[in-house]
Each structure stands twice: as structure tokens, then as C-alpha cells.
Structure 1
């Protein structure tokens, strides 16, 4: 990607300011090198030597880069505030150990660095600096090698002012990691845990998970009710480091955390400031949780509930009126919903701009068209294969 070399000696990406903003890139001196012609480690080292004033560097997808490049960045760019190493497939824990030298780092993206296990990262964030870097955003999404042990050692060392944490598709993480997050990172505004399939009700509730006899195998939707049947805990309530500790949350993604049920969701999804929520691909989610979320999260602007096959028109009749600010709604593959849900949503959610009811067999093309007429402000309705047709209405 071509770059400009202004008179002040800094490097700026030629991306328009609006695009940089959408991608989370800063307006201050920075460089984006995510292009097909990836630089070598030697080129990165030369760049760092020539431009020590860089505060933002994006090396996403530079497949030739490995640990040596990160070492060069750490030594040469002491004032770096934002660093993206996304999709560096050769980066290992050894490279992460060099990140401790970046004492001003505010944003770190290590998503899709599949060899990173987190062991050295936990030690490095504070090994050189007098205090941990003032990280406000950390992404370890799709780092499939991450385990609880390394994340548990990492979290207490993070700046407690961390705002954004993305652990999506870190499939081995369990309730222990979630409870550590709720203990130490209580100022989070964005928490993404999509596809963390080992997370369960007890983790969200902040409870220690009881040991279960091998012979007793409850079904997923009965799991919490069964474990709660002990006289010592007849009705589990949130306590200890539960999800309720994160009252600053504005975005929460629990997509495909398939062990979660109404038993925890009805009790912990109480976030007045929450604007974006995804509970898609939760097979045990029912109307009971939907209504509880409506009462507990009245400020939602984006809601994803795709593939929640137990949701019904009755649930939406009760829930819709709680979401007057809703703008984006995904109900694709919710097999029980009919045009009654569209009616409920259309009457209550007047700010809607995008609706997805694709693969909803109970919703007809005619009802989609009526909905569009009822809410002319809606600019896109995804309705693929609704009523046997493939239809997308876009204004």
C-alpha cells in the first residue's frame, strides 16, 4: 500500500480518515502494511530504525513475518500505541515476549496468531516497564492454542482500565477464564466470547461448578436445574465474580456458547447501557430468557438471535416493546416465528434499519412486504428462502 512521507518525518497511511476510523485506525502518525507484497523482517527492522516516532503500526496478514520482526518493533518503536499483528501465522510466544518493551501500548491485536499460547505474553506485559502498558483494547480472537492457565496468568496483569477484550473462538477457555475477567476487568465495555463452547451457566453466575457423578448425565437444557437440586443450592443466584460485575458493558457477544441456558441468562443479562448483544446459536434459549433480556437491557440497538429455534411469537409479543432503540435485528433460522413477530416488532421498534428473517419458514413474502410498508425507514430486509423464495428488499 503506498504511503506518504510528510515534512514532519512521520508516515501516514493513504487511507481516507473515514476508512481509518471504521477500521479502528488512528489519525495520528501510523503505517499500514497489510498488502499482498509483505515486507521481510529486515525491512520492518529498517523501518523501525528510520521512523522511531511511529505511534501506530498495522502488520496484519504479513505472512513472512515472524518473531524477529516483533523484536525489531519493540526495540525501535518505543512510543508505539497501537499495534496489529493479526494473522501472523509464524508468530510464537517467543515473539510475544518482546512486547513488554512497548510501555505506551494502548491497543494490541493478536487475532488469528494460531501459535500464540499466551505464556510469554503474560510475563512480558510489565517485565520491562515500571507498570503494565495502558492497554485499552486487546484481541486474542481465534488464538486456538490459548488455554485457561495462560489467560488466568495474563488477566490480573492487564490494566484494569481495559475497555475491549476479544477472545472469540478461543475454544478451550472455560468458566475459570470468564470468572477471572469478571474479577479483574470490571470496566470492560466490549466483551466478545463467541464460540467459547466450554462456557456454562455456572461461569456466568459466578458459582463454583459442583463435581458430578459420572453416571449422572443430564441433558444440556436440564444441566443447571439438575445441579441446583442440591439442598445447599436450591436456586442458584449470581454471586461472586458473576457477569453482573461488568456493568459498563456496551457490547456482549456470546454467539454459539451452546451450554448457556435460561437458568443463567435470565439472571445476569441486566445491563442498562448495553447496545449490542449476540445470543445466536444458543439452542436452549427460550422466550423466558428473551423477556428477561428485554427488561434487563432496554438500550439495545443491535440484537442477534439467529438459529434460536425455541423462540416464539408469544415471547416477542412481550419483549418487543422494551426495545424502542433497536436498529439491527437478526432472527434468521428461528423456525417457530411467524408474521405475528414481525407485527410485534413493527409496532414497537420504530427505529429499525435492518432486519434478517432469512430461513424462517413461518414468515411469508406477503408478511415481509407488509412489514416493509409499515416501517418505510427500514433500508434492508434479508429474507432468503422465506416462503420458498429468495428475496432481499433494499432501499
Structure 2
């Protein structure tokens, strides 16, 4: 795993990684404050087809543009960790639709709703690990849907 953590790599640095390390598989960019959509899009364009693991956290300038690029170009992604208060349903829908091989997904996103969890259960059939926290918008319906699909349980909600 290549770790670029807690430093000011910036967009040009991440673009260089995408351009010159086209077989990159694992990248952790936690707390790299200099990252914006530009860098992550160039990374996805350059080495997205081989990228299997990506962690993005505390990057306030990462928006739906980056996550749509991840969904479009990182089709081999198996592990994804996203931590941002700016990520919303639309972003997670793009990732879920574009990354069907996801095995592990960690989300700390305050704007997620039932719709995001529904998309993840529909479009990520091999998902084995899902961690989601930070959102007050989930209801019991999504949690039970998740349990029913992934564990083949028939749950009867008593209310």
C-alpha cells in the first residue's frame, strides 16, 4: 500500500501518481489537505483501472466530481473509505453504480440517506463489509433492507 497521509501533496502530485504509476493498486490520502477534485480525477484517469483500494478523508475540496470519476474509471475498486461532510447520495450512487466489485465500504458522511444505502445494496453484489456512520438520515427501513439482502434473513418488523 502506498500511503500519502497528512501531507500537502496537492493536485499536481496526485496527477503525477496517476500518470506515472499506472499500475497503482492501493492509495491512502487521509488528511492530505491540498487535494481537490482535479487531483483525484487525474488519479482516476491515470491508474483507475488498476486501483483496488482508496481512502479519502478530511479533504474538504473533494466533491461529486471526484466521486463520479471514481465511479467511472475505478471499476476494479474493492475497498473504499470515504470520510467527508460534503459527500451526498448522488456521489455514493455514482460510486455504487461504477464499482460493482466493492467488497469493503466505509462511509463517514453526514448527508447520506436511505437512498444511498439502497443504491449500495442494489449495485454492489459482492459487498462483505459496510460501515456507515455520521448520518442522522437513515431510517429502520434501510437497515432492515440491508440485513435482508446481505444475510438472506426474512425480517418482520413488529410495528
TM-score, with length taken from structure 2: 0.86
| 1:200 equivalent in structure 2 | 36
Distance (Å, rounded) in 2 between the aligned partners of 1:283 and 1:254: 12
| 1:173 equivalent in structure 2 | 9
| Contact preservation (8 Å) 1:178, 1:204 | yes
Given candidates 77, 87, 103, the residue that maps to 1:301 is 103
| 1:274 equivalent in structure 2 | 77
Distance (Å, rounded) in 2 between the aligned partners of 1:324 and 1:349: 9
What is the Cα deviation at residue 294 of structure 1? Answer: 0.6
**How do 1:234-273 residues align onto structure 2 when only pairs under 5 Å count?**
242-246=43-47, 247-270=49-72, 271-273=74-76
| 2:124 equivalent in structure 1 | 323
What is the Cα deviation at residue 347 of structure 1? Answer: 3.2
Distance (Å, rounded) in 2 between the aligned partners of 1:279 and 1:329: 12
| Contact preservation (8 Å) 2:71, 2:96 | no
Deviation sequence 1:201-244 (CA, Å, 0-9, x none): 122233xxxxxxxxxxxxxxxxxxxxxxxxxxxxxxxxxxx423
What is the Cα deviation at residue 312 of structure 1? Answer: 0.5
RMSD: 2.0
Structure 2 spans left out of the alignment, 5+ residues:
none
Distance (Å, rounded) in 2 between the aligned partners of 1:252 and 1:192: 6
Q: How many residues get paired?
A: 153
What is the Cα deviation at residue 346 of structure 1? Answer: 2.0
Distance (Å, rounded) in 1 between the aligned partners of 2:46 and 2:145: 32
SS of the equivalent of 1:331 reads strand
Structure 1 spans left out of the alignment, 5+ residues:
1-163, 207-241, 352-370, 375-395
What is the Cα deviation at residue 272 of structure 1? Answer: 2.5
**How do 1:280-359 residues align onto structure 2 when only pairs under 5 Å count?**
280=83, 282-306=84-108, 308-350=109-151
Question: For the pair shown, which has the larger CA radius of gyration, 1 or 2?
Answer: 1
What is the Cα deviation at residue 283 of structure 1? Answer: 1.2
Task: Name the structure, 1 or 2, with higher relative contact order (CA <8 Å, separation 6+).
Answer: 2
SS of the equivalent of 2:133 reads coil
Question: 1:323/1:347 Cα in 2 relative to 1: closer, same or farther (>3 Å)?
Answer: farther
